[in-house]
Amino acid sequence: MSTNSSSAPMPTRHGNAAARAIDLRKVYGSGDTQVTALDGVTVEFRPGEFTAIMGPSGSGKSTLMHCLAALDDATSGQVFVGEADLTSLGDKELTRIRRDRIGFVFQAFNLVPTLTAMENITLPMDIAGRKPNKEWLDTVINTVGLSDRLDHKPSQLSGGQQQRVACARALASRPDIVFADEPTGNLDSVSGAEVLGFLRRSVQEFGQTVVMVTHDPNAAGYADRVLFLGDGHIVDEMNEPTSERVLDRMKSFDGAAHAGQVT
Amino acid sequence: MLRATFKSLLAHKLRMAMSAFAIVLGVAFVSGTFVFTDTLNSSFTDLFRQTAPDVTVRPEKAEAAAAGGFTGSDTRVVPADLVDTLAALPGVARADGDVSDQSTFIIGKDGKVVGGNGAPGVAANYNDAPAADGSPIVTITAGVAPTGPGELLLDEKSAATAGYAIGDTVRLVTSGAQPSVTGTMVGTVRFGESGNLVGATLTIMDTATAQQLYLGGADAFNDIAVTGDGSLSNQQLRDAVTAALPAGFEALDDQQIATENENQLQQGLSFITTFLLVFAAVALIVGSFLILNTFSIIVAQRSRELALFRALGASRRQVTRSVLFEALVVGLVGSTVGLLLGFALALGLKALFGAIGLDLSAAGLVFQWRTVAVAYAVGVLITLVAAYLPARHAAKVPPVAAMRDDVAIPESSMHRRLVGGTALTVLGAGLMVWALAFGGGLPPLGGGVFAVFIGVALLSPVIGRPIVTAIAWPYSRLFGTVGVLARENARRNPRRTAATASALMIGLALVTTMAVLGQSTKSSVDELVSTDLKADYVVSNAVQSPFSATIAAQIAEVPGVTAAVPERFGSAKVNGQQTLVAGFDGDQFGRVVAINVKSGDLQTGDDGILVTDTRAATDGWRVGDTVTVDLPAGPAVLRVAGIIATSNFVGADIVLPLAALEAGGVAAMDSLVYVDRAPGADPAAVSAAIGTVLADLPTVTLKDQKAFADSQRAPVDQLLAIIYALLGLAVIIAVLGIVNTLALSVIERTREVGLLRAVGMSRRQLRSMVRLESVAIAVLGAVLGVLLGLVFGISLQRALSGQGFAVLSVPVLQLVVFVVLSGLIGVLAAVFPARRAARMDVLRAITTD
Ligand SMILES: Nc1ncnc2c1ncn2[C@@H]1O[C@H](COP(=O)(O)OP(=O)(O)O)[C@@H](O)[C@H]1O
Ligand SMILES: [Mg+2]
């Protein structure tokens, strides 16, 4: 239970936000088993910004991201990607938005096991029936440092390498915004640092917008801004975070929320 | 996307191969049927082309006889002086008189008939008239032409089979007045260019001898072959010849003869084609279940990957299409392999038909583009249709699923299925009851059966669960935890279990239907023989072709025989409709066979016919009405003397007196002779005496009541054996379906299997768990199939009770054996999946995602 009111202190600038949510609610199930995962979230992501979303397990981080990324529909409220209101769109348009404007990095890598690294990277363009931009592809591949592994199948790559392939796939189609759900959750600290470094560089060097869900204060330290989620509400926000400050902030959450946290 | 699909296909080679196998079998059947019947067709067409002269002159045939083919031979002849008249016409090079017979069989050195089994034993007079294409119809390949009574030629192949060489004495049985004939072989002939007689045998004698044997010594011919000198086309020649013919004769050019022959051929072939295509359809329907299941499971297993595609921006259509594309590839590969296998199958059929007398060894397989087109159309279409539902289902995967562990594609509720299935089953059952209770006939019954079939298949996930529970009831007691797990595994995905079992259900329902009908037929035969057959013996011809009428006369002379009543068969147009007709004298026949006379009596005289009540009802005949029957010689007006109940001994709806048949130009040849023994006579002595009459005729056999019943049951057993063998294919496909489902389920449950192993389940226990699940699925299919088959078989028997299925008999033991065998099939089907589960590495099993 959060002690904060449901209207969290949020900037409500409009115009050129990469994505934003207004009074977003998401309710799972019905009757006795009903769960309110998001309870009136209003949030905005600026272009070229690296945002981390943190909070205890079950606080609604993944749900928020799924709704923002057009993977799931909201129960009420509005979600915008650029100027497009996702809540008013049908499956066809949502598909097109996912395809053309959004990139994903998943906790479990989610590479297609039968395709090589290169084929996995170009998969979104394959699906869209588009030719990848050769120059950009080379840039991305060089940045993730995988040029000598492109013909390997996922099973022949380490976890860190697989996640870097996934990052390259997310960036290869030059999406407006990249969502990453605990991208380092399955990685050791060295591999995790590589992946985070890469996301950071994509923001710095290419001006990519990145939204990342994480448990790890160290991971949050790579972001420009951290949003803290608790029980379906945005409970706090921190700019220019460092891992120490994030850790401190998390320690200050009440014990009940803490207890549920999984690392 | 396409690439990802393609790679997924390669990664799942084995399971795809298994579902493709269903298509392979179905397509092989379709293409094998086409190739074989095309081959048959072309062999006969060749034969016809090599036989027909430029113009044939013959006694004018009634329309019915020309179109439908009268099965009895035509006794009317062409006078010999017409040959010279025709030869003298302008434009005619030569005219040759032909005498021919279709039932002259060669008895080999070993005393056995050469050929037979439906293929004719042709005898003809010798002449060297050419066919329309200029090649000689027969060519002497060794020895000399026959020049007098007692000299004859055999075709090369028959001579070799019979073991005769030039100079040997050859024995023949004929349908003529003189049933047994011997002669010296003075040479061999080749028929046409290739010597291909398609299983028939050919005996050539000189004209006088042939006339003596087949035309009672008259100087006449069956027909005249007219050969032009080249100045006229065959059509012009035909017209010129027609102008010169007296009334009662007709001239046909080679094209007309060929068309006439081919029409008859098509009727014969269409039966074979239909028979084989029905089995192809069964194989494909069962196969489509296998494909549907395989694709459903693959889609379920790939749901995470498909969700990823959706998350990365693939549209629903793209997901559906990617699954359909896989199906397309499977369909194409399956059709290609099936087509090749079809050729092998056609070779096999050729050999099989060769073994029963239709020798096609001289003919190469005929390959038509139509066969290829049909094979691919059928194979690809069925695969796509079967994969359509899973493909549609795949598109329902929510993109969020890519982010979750517990991926499941939402299942549409069973509600629609339940409603649809129940409605169809009830509708079908109603239709069946209506058809049976109110005599609606076969079409509504068939419709009802089909509706029940689909309805039960739809309902099977619902009704399957309690049945599986019942089947697996002893499991926990006998096998403990392993048994409980197996039972729960079989129950946890009712759709999948049901779809897998449905394939076996279809196969077994058909097998059971056939078993019930077969057993009923056999019981009906026994019943019929014991109640209706009053005669003590039946004389019949082993090669299914009629024999000389003199035999009945000779048997009648045997001491101790009180009656020898012959029966003949033919085909004629009666009241405008082509009909099988029987020939016997009613009052005589009534003494040897019990006939239920509804009205009128059996005293037909020479101009009265007997008709069955069913035919009388359809044509509105009453006793005393007149009916026109088109016989070879022309229409005969006869009166209805009696209306009788349908009888298997009568075997036809119309009975003509022998005198009427003979007057109509049908040769006096009998198919059966019923013999009655005097009450006091010694059975052994009488049958020995009849045996002496038949001694020279190895094709004609004498049977007492019991032997006759046995011989009538034998073809039922043979037919059942063929049908079982063919339905066996459907069962094999169903077994593959079980293998596929289990193998895929095992892969799907990798994590679970690993867990079980980790907590101490042994490999053996794991194997028996899979095996027990498999047995439960197989027995479910068997139980449903046998139940449905019983319902179908019994209702068909009821509907057909007037047509040789009078007695219902259920082969209970056989059905129990089917179910037990299905259980064994389940054990077999589990071998590979169980091994696969047991081999799984524990660690990998629990860490895989
Ligand atoms: N598909 C779902 N059905 C029902 N409840 C769900 C579902 N997904 C998430 N939840 C519930 O919503 C709440 C938020 O979940 P989630 O967004 O996954 O949290 P987080 O990612 O912060 O751990 C949790 O209470 C969770 O149990
Ligand atoms: Mg989460």
Residue A154 in this model has a pLDDT that exceeds 50: yes
- Calculate how close chain B gets to A249, using CA atoms only, in Å: 28
CA angle A147, A151, A155 (to 5 degrees): 110
Beta strand B55-59 pairing with B547-548:
unpaired
Confidence label for A260 from pLDDT (cuts 50, 70 and 90): very low
Which domains does chain A carry?
Answer: 19-258 (3.40.50.300)
Residue B269 within a domain: no
Choose among A223, A181, A204, A230: nearest CA to A45. Answer: A223
Q: Ligand 1, atom 2: nearest CA belongs to which residue?
A: A28
Residue A261 in this model has a pLDDT that exceeds 60: no
Return the residue matching tokens 């007006």: B637
- Per-residue model confidence (pLDDT) at position B130: 85
- Do B191 and B59 share a domain, yes or no? yes
Is B316 near chain A, with CB under 8 Å?
Answer: yes
| pLDDT, tens only, A40-75 | 999 999 999 999 999 888 899 989 998 998 888 899
Residues for chain A: how many in total? 263
Are B650 and B644 within 8 A, CB to CB?
A: yes
Residues from chain A contacting residue B305 (CB–CB below 8 Å): 112
Beta strand A209-213 pairing with B669-670:
unpaired
Burial B529-541 (b: 16+ CB within 10 A, else e): beebbbbbbbbbb
- Do B577 and B494 share a domain, yes or no? no
Residue B365 within a domain: no
- Do B558 and B591 share a domain, yes or no? yes
Record: contact B402-A106, CB cut-off 8 A: yes
- Per-residue model confidence (pLDDT) at position A206: 87
**Residue B846 tokens, joined:** 């629990």
Is B444 near chain A, with CB under 8 Å?
Answer: no
Burial B6-19 (b: 16+ CB within 10 A, else e): bbbbeebeebbbbb
Q: What sign does the CA torsion over B326, B332, B338, B341 have?
A: negative
- Do B840 and B765 share a domain, yes or no? yes
Of B698, B715, B732, the one marking the end of a domain is B698
Q: At what angle do helices B316-355 and B2-11 cross, to 10 degrees?
A: 50
Beta strand B654-656 pairing with B577-583:
parallel
- Calculate how close chain A gets to B476, using CA atoms only, in Å: 34
Give the total number of structural domains in chain B: 3
3-state secondary structure of B580: strand
Of B668, B698, B728, the one marking the end of a domain is B698
- Do B669 and B787 share a domain, yes or no? no
Q: Testing the interface with A: which of B308, B312, B322 to mutate, by most A Cβ within 10 A? A: B312
Are B407 and B351 within 8 A, CB to CB?
A: no
Residue B688 within a domain: yes
- Do B553 and B528 share a domain, yes or no? no
User: Across-strand partners of B101?
Assistant: B123
Q: Which three-class secondary structure string do you get for B13-79?
A: HHHHHHHHHHHHHHHHHHHHHHHHHHHHHHHHHHHHHHHCCCEEEEECCCHHHHHHHCCCCECCCEE
Q: Rounded to the nearest 5°, which phi and psi values hold at A52? A: -105, 140
- Torsion, Cα of B227, B233, B235, B241 (10° steps): -40
Residue B360 within a domain: no
Indicate left, alpha or beta for B653 from its phi (over 0: left) and psi (-120 to 50: alpha): alpha
Nearest to A72 among B3, B314, B400 (CB): B400
3-state secondary structure of B199: coil
CA distance B335 to B331: 6
Is B403 near chain A, with CB under 8 Å?
Answer: yes
Nearest to A114 among B7, B313, B849 (CB): B7
**Residue A174 tokens, joined:** 């030059």
- Per-residue model confidence (pLDDT) at position B787: 93
Single-letter residue type at B33: T
- Per-residue model confidence (pLDDT) at position B405: 58
Of B698, B729, B761, the one marking the end of a domain is B698
Residue B500 within a domain: yes
Which residues have C-beta under 5 Å from ligand 2, the single-atom ion?
A 62
Record: contact A98-B2, CB cut-off 8 A: no
pLDDT higher at B602 or A256 = B602
Nearest to B313 among A112, A128, A181 (CB): A128
Burial A90-128 (b: 16+ CB within 10 A, else e): eeeebbbbbbebbbbbbbbbbbbebbbbbbbbbbbbbbb
Nearest to B849 among A62, A108, A127 (CB): A108
Choose among B16, B315, B325, B6: nearest CA to A116. Answer: B6
Taking the CA of residue A60 as reference, the ligand 1 atom at the shortest distance is 17
Q: Which three-class secondary structure string do you get for B264-318?
A: HHHHHHHHHHHHHHHHHHHHHHHHHHHHHHHHHHHHHHCHHHHHHHHHCCCCHHH
Residue to probe by mutation, ligand 1, list A24, A25, A33, A35, most atoms within 8 Å of CB: A35
The residues lining ligand 1, judged by C-beta closer than 6 Å to any ligand atom, are A 28-29, 35, 37, 55, 57-63
| pLDDT, tens only, B60-73 | 775 544 433 344 45
Residues from chain A contacting residue B318 (CB–CB below 8 Å): 127
User: pTM value?
Assistant: 0.70
Residues for chain B: how many in total? 849
- Calculate how close chain A gets to B769, using CA atoms only, in Å: 30
- Do B197 and B90 share a domain, yes or no? yes
**Could you tell me the residue range of the domain that residue B678 belongs to?**
544-698
CA distance B498 to B123: 61
Single-letter residue type at A253: F
Residue B352 within a domain: no
Q: Which three-class secondary structure string do you get for B348-366?
A: HHHHHHHHCCCCCCCCCCC
- Cβ burial of A78 (10 Å; 0-12, 13-18, 19+) is middle
Rounded average pLDDT over A144-150: 86
- Torsion, Cα of B684, B689, B690, B692 (10° steps): 130
Confidence label for A15 from pLDDT (cuts 50, 70 and 90): low
Record: contact B7-A112, CB cut-off 8 A: yes
In this prediction, the residues of chain B whose per-residue pLDDT falls under 50 are: 64-72, 848-849
- Cβ burial of A136 (10 Å; 0-12, 13-18, 19+) is middle
Choose among B360, B372, B365, B370: nearest CA to B346. Answer: B365
- Do B563 and B583 share a domain, yes or no? yes
- Do B529 and B550 share a domain, yes or no? no
- Do B523 and B556 share a domain, yes or no? no
- Do B88 and B179 share a domain, yes or no? yes
- Do B160 and B91 share a domain, yes or no? yes
CA distance B620 to B601: 18
Are B291 and B382 within 8 A, CB to CB?
A: yes
Choose among B206, B219, B222, B278: nearest CA to B26. Answer: B278
Residue B525 within a domain: yes
Residue B512 within a domain: yes
